[in-house]
A and B are shown apart, each in its own frame.
Chain A
């Protein structure tokens, strides 16, 4: 459990998802843990990955704090909406829908697979007013100055991410990265690290419910928390040395796995 969590932490922190994609299937399928406790552990894993890696990303200024805070408006609202409607929805149908959306969003990801830094869009409207722009230093010493665009679409995508986290306890990170990459046109590393920065807040929003229900089992939470914190620290160092194209490839791969997981779960093949 401990070693799986280290691996999940490394992966989660590089691609901007929480590591729940790794933790949940391993716990349920390989270790026979009940799905409720697995989701409880996944919440712990997501928060651990987020805070553990973000402390490094934020210090190195790759994460865009303003974009993160702005989009958190949508993800936190979404998490509450998700929790509110969860009792009235069929999770299998939802998983099938979201799994398919993730699978479709693989197409633009793969098309852009070789893209290093996107052509920076003109800064206007809301993006300008909220200064949704930034700069960071690449591994090769280039200072990347970037702007963002289509904040409303970004907000909408992040709202979906939040609803999904509130409903299923998983899957929020993928939609956040997609929103920032495909809609807002941020550089890949900025998208994944800013997503990583935000998922902690989204997961914390859902944590109250899981915690109150006793879904956070200390016997599972302890090894997962410790493993994930070590993994996140390692992953953060890996990402800062990686190229944007490498991060994009890793994200596309995890996106495919996440989509498949959701669809298989909807079909009842895996819990």
Chain B
């Protein structure tokens, strides 16, 4: 693939988005299978109608350590959370790769624009949740 060809930019970005979405979907399906297998279908009918008390899922540890532990123990909730994280990461990856694609096109203004967007995005995802007073 010739990265200097502006046409290929659409192809690459389209592929990044598609792979991210498919990967996320597979992980969520896997998590759902584990969930149904370990709880039975009657208790997981939340898929069609929400029933928060059917499956106890309060206080899920969303910290990196908690998530990692959950993945090692093959926890359904941790798998689903991982799928959601992959989904959230997909647009971030798209912006990151765009920086390089514009660089390959030698389009300086857009390298700067996308790099600033990436910085804002990372700041917003990783820094703002830990600033007191930043609540949505």
Contact assessment for B31 and A218 in the assembled complex, using a CB-CB cutoff below 8 Å: yes
Which residues on A sit within 8 Å (CB–CB) of B35?
222
Is residue A10 contacting chain B, with contact meaning CB distance below 8 A? no
Given A84-B128, A204-B88, A226-B28, 8 further pairs, Cβ under 8 A:
A50-B91, A55-B21, A76-B124, A129-B109, A169-B136, A205-B120, A218-B84, A223-B47
Contact assessment for B28 and A80 in the assembled complex, using a CB-CB cutoff below 8 Å: no
Contact assessment for A54 and B10 in the assembled complex, using a CB-CB cutoff below 8 Å: no
Is residue A243 contacting chain B, with contact meaning CB distance below 8 A? no
**Nearest chain B residue, comparing its CB with the CB of A225:** B28
Contact assessment for A83 and B90 in the assembled complex, using a CB-CB cutoff below 8 Å: no
Contact assessment for A58 and B117 in the assembled complex, using a CB-CB cutoff below 8 Å: no
Q: Which of A79, A209, A211 makes the CB contact (< 8 A) with B135?
A: A209
Q: Which of A47, A77, A168, A225 makes the CB contact (< 8 A) with B120?
A: A77
CB distance from B132 to the nearest CB of A (A): 9
Q: Is the interface of B mostly helix, strand, loop or mixed?
A: helix
Q: Which of A3, A31, A206, A216 makes the CB contact (< 8 A) with B136?
A: A206
* 23 residue pairs bridging A and B, Cβ less than 8 Å apart: A1-B46, A27-B50, A31-B49, A51-B87, A55-B14, A59-B14, A69-B110, A70-B113, A76-B120, A77-B120, A83-B134, A86-B134, A166-B136, A167-B136, A168-B136, A169-B136, A208-B125, A211-B85, A214-B60, A216-B81, A218-B80, A223-B47, A229-B25
**Nearest chain A residue, comparing its CB with the CB of B51:** A219
With A1-B47, A87-B133 as given contacts, are A80 and B124 in contact (CB-CB < 8 Å)?
A: yes
Within 8 A of B (CB), among A177-234: 200-201, 203-214, 216-223, 225-226, 229
With A1-B49, A222-B32 as given contacts, are A79 and B124 in contact (CB-CB < 8 Å)?
A: yes
A12 to B13, CA, bound (A): 20
A47 to B80, CA, bound (A): 15
A18 to B27, CA, bound (A): 22
Within 8 A of A (CB), among B44-91: 46-50, 52, 55, 57, 59-60, 62, 76-77, 80-81, 83-85, 87-91
Contact assessment for A208 and B10 in the assembled complex, using a CB-CB cutoff below 8 Å: no
Range for the number of chain A residues in contact with chain B: 35 or more
Is residue A150 contacting chain B, with contact meaning CB distance below 8 A? no
With A208-B129, A216-B81 as given contacts, are A225 and B87 in contact (CB-CB < 8 Å)?
A: yes
A158 to B11, CA, bound (A): 26
Is residue B104 contacting chain A, with contact meaning CB distance below 8 A? no
Is residue B29 contacting chain A, with contact meaning CB distance below 8 A? yes
Which residues on B sit within 8 Å (CB–CB) of A32?
50
Contact assessment for A73 and B62 in the assembled complex, using a CB-CB cutoff below 8 Å: no
With A50-B91, A200-B90, A225-B84 as given contacts, are A2 and B47 in contact (CB-CB < 8 Å)?
A: yes
What 0/1 readout, one digit per residue, does chain A (40-69) give for beta carbons within 8 Å of chain B?
A: 000010011011101110110100011001
Is residue A20 contacting chain B, with contact meaning CB distance below 8 A? no
A208 to B136, CA, bound (A): 11
Q: Which of B10, B32, B76 makes the CB contact (< 8 A) with A58?
A: B10
